Structure 1
Amino acid sequence: MAKSYEEIAKEVIEAIGGKENISSFAHCATRLRIMVVDKDKIDKDKVDNIEKVKGTMFNSGQFQIIFGTGTVNKVYEAVQGLGGVSESSVSDMKKEAAKQGNVIQRISRTFGDIFVPIIPVLVATGLLMGLRNVITNPDFLKLFGATPKGINENFLLYTRILTDTAFVILPVLVAWSSFKVFGGSPVLGIVLGAMLISGELPNAYVVAAGGAKPLTFFGFLPVVGYQGSVLPALFVGLIGAKLEQRLRKIVPDVLDLLVTPFLVFVVMSVLGLFVIGPVFHSVETIILGVTRWILGLPFGIAGIVIGGVHQIIVVTGVHHIFNFLESQLLNTPDPITGEKLNAFNPLITAAMSGQLGATLAVGLKTKDLKLKALAFPSALSAALGITEPAIYGVNLVKGKGKPFVMGLIGGAIGGFFASVFKLKATGMAVTIVPGMLLFLNSLPLYILMVAISIGAGFALTYTMVKLDK
């Protein structure tokens, strides 16, 4: 009989040393994140054996228990319900763990904290883009005796509203989330983000297409809207939140409501439009250019490299920075083709599929019933785009870590295929099975790429890895 979430919560607390050993706890999309007083009191094996636990790890000063999407929310609520444990928001926990990890890990963690609340919107938009591409595809319409010219203009306008809005207002979303992460008032972030894309400024997309010219300030400084940009909004959020915190310490309480937001708006609008915006938009352009160059390397090199190392980057915990790269690929027309597509997504899909294949091989080959019971649900989780249970629960810890290495090779092989055939997604943040909706115009090639990655990871693991008894 399955245990209740209250029972699971009690077992978790007991296995990590009791309530007195918990400094604070929070959760993200898949993991219960716990700051502990003494990590030596944690019985990791006991935690790993708790029902519904798919793996555990220490990262960024936190003991993280992987439950998977949906389940983690229910376990978190059950822990809350037990009482006597210090609850924390992810942003508060981030502050507690601020001194943990190296600089790259801290930067990645910050990107993750900012982007995680935004990703559902970008996922939905990406799926809608995929569906729009299908219903406007001449070959698809031909099956019904129709052509693109026969589609109602108002319907096309409606689809553009559905698919373009989230990316146009991306600076608003990023500034809002940045203010929240860095301890400011999110509503100030919303307004400052909106200032960056004000209708009074020339639209960045129109300027890029040659349909408008930038405004010139001070006789030399070109200024446009920052539609679709990430870095300007992120740094407006960072600096604006810190400015707000400083002002609230020095402005008298009786004047705080009027003076603080007024000064934040004035200072940050000037910095955002005339300093932060131009500087970091240029940085963003350079990063995007380098990314496109790497993705455009011949002979499938990009696929081999990214498909082969992406899951290593996941293990280091700095993979959240790729959210920025993917959003920029989808936001900026390719200088040669003019398309707004994501060539990074199929490569990381290949990397994840390689780990999926390795996990399936472990599950089929092992005689350990407990490992079988762990491997197959972890493989299912990987098929839905979440590889942490497969990595931390199976591939890294079994067979002396060789299944993980075989999975990396499988990812490199699949990535090579994706690069050679120039696979590109219409969205971001979903992979493998859900990711099919991002490749509706090239679905057979996508499925073949996933099958190659899974097959290679499976075959290498099954034939070359001797599992521990």
Structure 2
Amino acid sequence: MSDNKKIAEELIEAVGGTDNIQSVTHCATRLRFIIQDEDKVEKEKVEDIDKVKGAFFNSGQYQVIFGTGLVNRIYEEVAKFDLKTASKDEQKQEAAEQNGNRLQRAIRTFGDVFVPIIPVLVATGLFMGLRGLFVQEKILAFFGLTPEDIPADLLLYTEILTDTAFIFLPALVAWSTFKVFGGTPIIGIVLGLMLVSPSLPNAWGVAEGADPIMFFGFIPVVGYQGAVLPAFIAGIIGAKLEKSIRKRVPEALDLILTPFLTLLVMSILALFAIGPVFHTVENYILDIVLALLELPFGLAGLILGFLNQIIVITGVHHIFNLLEIQLLENLGENPFNAIVTSAIAAQGGAALAVGLKTKNKKLKALAMPSSVSAFLGITEPAIFGVNLRYGKPFLMALIGGAAGGFVASITNLAGTGMSITVIPGTLLYLNEQIFLYLLVNIIGIAVAFGLTWMFGYSDEKQLKE
């Protein structure tokens, strides 16, 4: 064994092993580690390793001094241990994220969970935009067709394209959360699928008036299709529970007992505690929104335009389906859709500003398609991948949503249907309201874009914070 390889092995062991190393890079004289748990680093042992000239923590990095030339050779040996390597800029960003306050770290962790899911949500947004061509009478009329001319099998296929990712979103969220928090991802998938089991009443059905299952006579249990926060919370608790159980069961029984106990405990918590809490929250939100819609002077649009995407984060926004149905039945129009479309468009505007302003290629590649998805009515990629992850863009988007919602409210803008917004939503405003509808969306986008560009994001500040 070469001396450099031996040094690399001793160094990795002294800093807590490969599991304790998030990434490694080097400069002219030092190896620079991002460490998972600083307490696992045996500092004296590191400094006693041959050829190590010193070691210290600085700016979120554990820096080990070897000197010019030698550091390159040691780095080559360390990198062979299948560690994540990073450029100095990437590691500086990673260190900055670790050193942020608790709220900043929590928000970034939320973003980390959603980044792997974003591509399918973007694709779903595109599919939903295309599906509008097959279901809207006025679009079909341009081609001399009616909805009856579209084959039922084709409509079924479009539903598969547009509904699958959101029906099973809890499974995707739980899978990614387990992965981020150190659990077994396949257990997360199964736990998430339990939340959308076909044995439970569908979330959208309950939102439209169907009854939940009342376990033990008082616990309302429903499916959580499209829900975010219940699956996220269950994923965090489940991953920590799994690791705790694994430490305590004998190795010979680990394969059987750990997943069994994790899924048993978490299914009970998710379905009978976490889920019902959010079901109750949904009912309160419905009552509050109905009361807000009665406010005069554009206040309804101002408040709901600001709050809408905050509610989307919780995953309890399905209850708005019932609200929109009630509005259409009682009023023959849907003013709620006109308000929230600006909130959705504003998230796209903020993500677009980040995408155009940043020089980070990875962030640009994420932000630009996420903004397109928002303009097609799906904000999850923009919220969780970009805006909420960096904090200020999300706030600027909320302000943009409030501005557009205010205009929608004072002008009495109202849609003729429900469930589609922004670009696809134009199909609900072809009754001489189209220009006002476009104005409301443009206001939401422009305010969010402008505020984000000026105050909401910069690469330089992001590296420092």
Amino acid at match of 2:139: F
Provide the rounded CA distance (Å) in 2 between the counterparts of 1:200 and 1:175. 19
Q: 1:214-233 residue pairs with structure 2 within 5 A? A: 214-233=212-231
Query: 1:51 maps to what in 2?
Result: none
Tell me the SS of whatever aligns to 1:333.
Answer: helix
The structure 2 residue matched to 1:87, chosen from 81, 84, 88, is 84
Q: CA deviation at 1:240?
A: 0.9
| Residue 334 to residue 20, structure 1, CA distance change in 2 (3 Å) | farther
Query: 1:140 maps to what in 2?
Result: 139
Does structure 2 conserve the Cα–Cα contact (< 8 Å) formed by 1:351 and 1:414? no
2:169 is the counterpart of 1:181:
no
Does structure 1 conserve the Cα–Cα contact (< 8 Å) formed by 2:174 and 2:188? yes
Does structure 2 conserve the Cα–Cα contact (< 8 Å) formed by 1:172 and 1:191? yes
Q: Which has the larger radius of gyration?
A: 2
Query: 1:270 maps to what in 2?
Result: 268
Amino acid at match of 2:313: F
Query: 2:313 maps to what in 1?
Result: 324
Q: 1:44-63 residue pairs with structure 2 within 5 A? A: none
Q: 1:54-453 residue pairs with structure 2 within 5 A? A: 87=84, 100-211=99-210, 213-283=211-281, 286=284, 299-300=297-298, 324=313, 329=317, 332-337=320-325, 343=341, 344-349=343-348, 385=371, 416-417=406-407, 436=423, 448=439
TM-score by length of 2: 0.57
Tell me the SS of whatever aligns to 1:229.
Answer: coil
**Percent identity among equivalent residues?**
44
Please list the CA deviations of residues 359-417 of structure 1 after superposition, one character each: whole Å capped at 9, or x if unmatched. 8xxxxxxxxxxxxx99xxx9999877499xxx9xxxx9xxxxxxxxx999999766654
Amino acid at match of 1:218: F
Provide the rounded CA distance (Å) in 2 between the counterparts of 1:412 and 1:206. 29
Tell me the SS of whatever aligns to 2:145.
Answer: coil
Please list the CA deviations of residues 322-357 of structure 1 after superposition, one character each: whole Å capped at 9, or x if unmatched. 8625x6547851513468965321233455678999
More displaced stretch, 243-252 vs 340-349: 340-349
Provide the rounded CA distance (Å) in 2 between the counterparts of 1:163 and 1:149. 20
Amino acid at match of 1:259: L
| Residue 249 to residue 412, structure 1, CA distance change in 2 (3 Å) | closer
More displaced stretch, 122-131 vs 333-342: 333-342
Tell me the SS of whatever aligns to 1:227.
Answer: coil
Q: CA deviation at 1:149?
A: 2.5
| Residue 353 to residue 301, structure 1, CA distance change in 2 (3 Å) | farther
Amino acid at match of 1:138: E
Q: CA deviation at 1:154?
A: 1.6
Amino acid at match of 2:251: D
Number of equivalent positions: 350
Amino acid at match of 1:87: K
Please list the CA deviations of residues 222-248 of structure 1 after superposition, one character each: whole Å capped at 9, or x if unmatched. 322222222221121111111110111
Q: CA deviation at 1:110?
A: 2.8
Does structure 1 conserve the Cα–Cα contact (< 8 Å) formed by 2:170 and 2:193? yes
Q: CA deviation at 1:216?
A: 3.0
Provide the rounded CA distance (Å) in 2 between the counterparts of 1:87 and 1:137. 49
Does structure 2 conserve the Cα–Cα contact (< 8 Å) formed by 1:80 and 1:87? no
**Cα RMSD after superposing both structures:** 5.5
Does structure 1 conserve the Cα–Cα contact (< 8 Å) formed by 2:346 and 2:449? no
